[in-house]
Structure 1
Amino acid sequence: MGKLKVLIVDDEYLIRNLLRMRINWEEQGLIIVGEASNAQEALDMVDKHRPDIIFTDIYMPYINGIEFSSRVLKKYPDIKIVVVTGHDEFEYAQQSIKIGISDFILKPIRASDLLHVTEQLKRKIDEERRRDLELEKLKQELENNFPYLREKFLYQWLKGTLSIEEIYEKAEYFTFPMFNRRAAYQVAVIEISSSSEEQTEEQLILLGMECRNRIEAFFSQDSEVIILSEAQDRMVIISFSEGGDLVDDCESLKLILIDSLPCFLNIGIGRKRGNIQEAHLGYQEANRALHYKVFVGHNQVVCFEDIIEGREDHYRSKPELLQQLQFYISVGSTERAAQMLTQIFDVSFSSKAKFRTAAMDVITECQRAAMERGIEDEHTLNTETLVSILTADNLPELKRILESYVLTVSNTINMENQAKAGNLISQVKAYLENHMRDPNVGLASTAAVFFISPGHLGRLMKKETGQTFVEYLTDIRMKRAEHLLKTTDLKGYEIGERVGIIDPHYFSVLFKKTMGRSMNEYRIGKL
């Protein structure tokens, strides 16, 4: 912070001179930019110099110090004003507190009082400027992150995680006037893939960017259309356009892209919605329509309402059951996964389209569980199996094939989980062998080393070794102690320290309890 500017206002030259001479202003980081003998002259100087601090007398001709201060603070609220007053004027000077005076200094003016006031004001100004700077940085960060926050709001809206109040409040903040018009809207999900098998990762990224640019250009004249990039190869279109037809637009867009770029394009479109809180339903419908590419092929625009027969009796997915299904698959619980599948299909389907849509939901959860575990083998992503599921002629056949598929995915994940658990416990065993000497080694500290919860580690240890964590650690410590008794002449307490038990009495008791003999008896027996 540079030197702070000071203005002195007093109709008596001697007082102004006394203030100027009482302290070394330069050493205090202050500089006197002007002196005024009356308030009118001072007001002109304030406009010219924009001082940081003003020292002013109360009684001055024409305009008194309190009125002068009020005018200054109304125009420049950041300026700090110190009233110079005598004891007989102090009660009058206290009125200035109401207008925001920073401090008082009494006549006769003492250097110590002046230094105290200036130090306090410097600290206060420094804190305010630092706070203003931090606030400015926050504003800049908010401005930089505004596009990201805007998209985050839209994704939250599409996921159905916002209340109606939050939707309207954020829509107004992020300037989406169509939300407040209660206009009907429609959601489409676009998936882009390369039509060439030889494209590099960089070329795929560039293809996705080019598609995004062309999609934005296509809708550039329609302010009622919102475009979101969901991933490198997926985009979401939300249309509030009253005069347009999203299906026709998507058909035209598809032709433009596949004719000009080396790509395949599939688009799923949900039904029109009038309730602003039903965006998640439209989004889910668009995704389910998109999944039909499995048997309709590439470069198709699929409307959700076209794949549902019987408009009065639409299929409704069961998100809570599907989430539980994915969980059981993810943890490799085949029995629970099969039970959950039975619950999902424990309904009457009046058409093939409905139970195929339900099957599509199940397939999606299986694939999501497999991909989250990094498993992409022929068993979990077998196109032939998926096609057979989606083309099954009757519900019993579909359920049989689907159950086989679910169990295959779940078993694959279960084997993967077991392999990972066995490898983790092997690492934990090695860690304990190397660190048993540390008396602080325990379940919590070991779990922290391997970035898992103590409860999870305890369960894995019991499952893999048949012992609790404490039992296993005690066992290897006693075996090490037994070895040291056989091969060294160390004293009992020294052996205890070598195996991480520093209390000699506790070590002696624990050794006898575990080995069946005291250390002395053990050594005698050894001899």
Structure 2
Amino acid sequence: MNLYSIILVDDEEEVRKSIIKQIDWESAGFKVVGDAENGEDALEKIDVLEPDVVLTDIRMPYMDGLTLAEKIRQRYPSMKVVIFSGYDDFEYAQKAIKLNVTEYILKPVNVEELTSILKHIKSNLDEEIEEKRNVSRLRENYRKSLPIIREQFFNDMVHRRLSDDLIESKLKEYDIPITGARKWVIAAIDVEKSDDRSKKTLSLHEEEELIPISVMQIVREKLKSYCRFFLFQSTAEAEMVVIAALDDDNTTTGLIDVLGDICKEAKRILEVPVTIGIGHSVTGLSKIAGSYQSAVEALGYKAVVGSGITIYINDMEPVGSGKLEFDNADESDFISAVKFGPDEKIEAVTARISGKLESAKVHYRQQQVYVFGVLNTIIQMIQQYDLNLEEILGGELEYLSVIDKLQKREEFGEWLLKTAHKMNQAINQERDITTRQVIQQAKQYIMDNYQNPDLSVEMICRHLHMSPAYFSTMFKKETGQAYIAYLTEIRLNKAVELLNKTDDKTYVIASKVGYQEQNYFSYVFKKKFGVSPTKFRGAR
């Protein structure tokens, strides 16, 4: 059977070992994937391991169990938290209830009691997952889906510009409360389907038309506590679309976090990858079509960054960069193939474009206009991505000779394929360079601000105009370290410098390298170097 994962958090190592040893975890439906000795350590491990349940003591140094529970609720709303404490204090229990803690039990931990609680939690997790997988209930929800006329209006709204008056009157008529927001953002959702029968492990997978309904159920459940929104099925590029209305209390970063949780939940419960493209925010509903178009473009980048995640357009394309608009479907397909690949798509699209030229029975001047149109698309892409014109087109002489190639139109096809491949490689290299430059900026920002105890991923991402989820992924990919591990290393290395070169007291050095608590600084230092800061200085 599939076991749920659990992390144990307690500042007493003997207590952790005792609990891990005494409980028959597998029979209770769990496996212990990690343990931590304080809330700070626990958060780092939770970010990496993403357990189903966190079992934590309430009294710990540096970050107590209630603070840990609060942070888990903010980051991972679906995660179960069990708190145990040696203090029969009603005030703690009250706080735990407010934080929606699953269970609150007293130390010493009784094996039978804890086993019973774990089995109860497993039962609840089973029910939650079965609820979302229940085929008959999903079929009933499918029959109760939104009226067709309302779906048509929203599809109209994201594909062409409608007046604010018309939009407001329709939203009022349909009783959809998304007007009057500070800004609006479109999220385009794609649910990946698999033709591989060996990967279809759930009964739900045998009725694939019900999977999007279950995804919509998860989306509604997750978003309802964050912002006002409307979710509808799309008739075009995306499978379903969310219009999110963000007020002063809501941020795009927060929305991205919630949408990221939806991707994880869909993978965990439905076992299908869900990719969400997030567009530019707009300040008026009449401009929502622009947000939709950029969300669809963000979705296209899954060929570059992978599926099953959120993709924010600001992460993939520079903020404020010009957008190319082409009415011709061949031009749009060419741009998409060159930007995203893969090679097979580039070959298919360029073959179709050159094939039209080869089969056309029109005047020579019309053929020239067709080739100039293709060249214009290529040159604009070269300009947009700041590519080397001579490297792509081979210099002025070869560029001018393209027209001459029309005399042997098969040569144009070869030239177009070669040029498209060059551009694809150059854009990928440019994207990699840009990512490295951004990470370098992040490193410099950390170096300039490591003394600030409030320095966080969110603060860096506001500076870089990136989403925290994308930044964390790229930072680890480029540096080989998670952000918090990198920051800790910078701070401790600076602390070593100060210990070697100054006579400052330990608490002064702790403050200078970004630690508010001297005790926590000493704990982290000893964990890294094996000795306390005082002994380290004494040994020099």
TM range (shorter): 0.3 to 0.5
Larger radius of gyration: 1
Give TM-score scaled by structure 2 length.
0.36
Give TM-score scaled by structure 1 length.
0.36
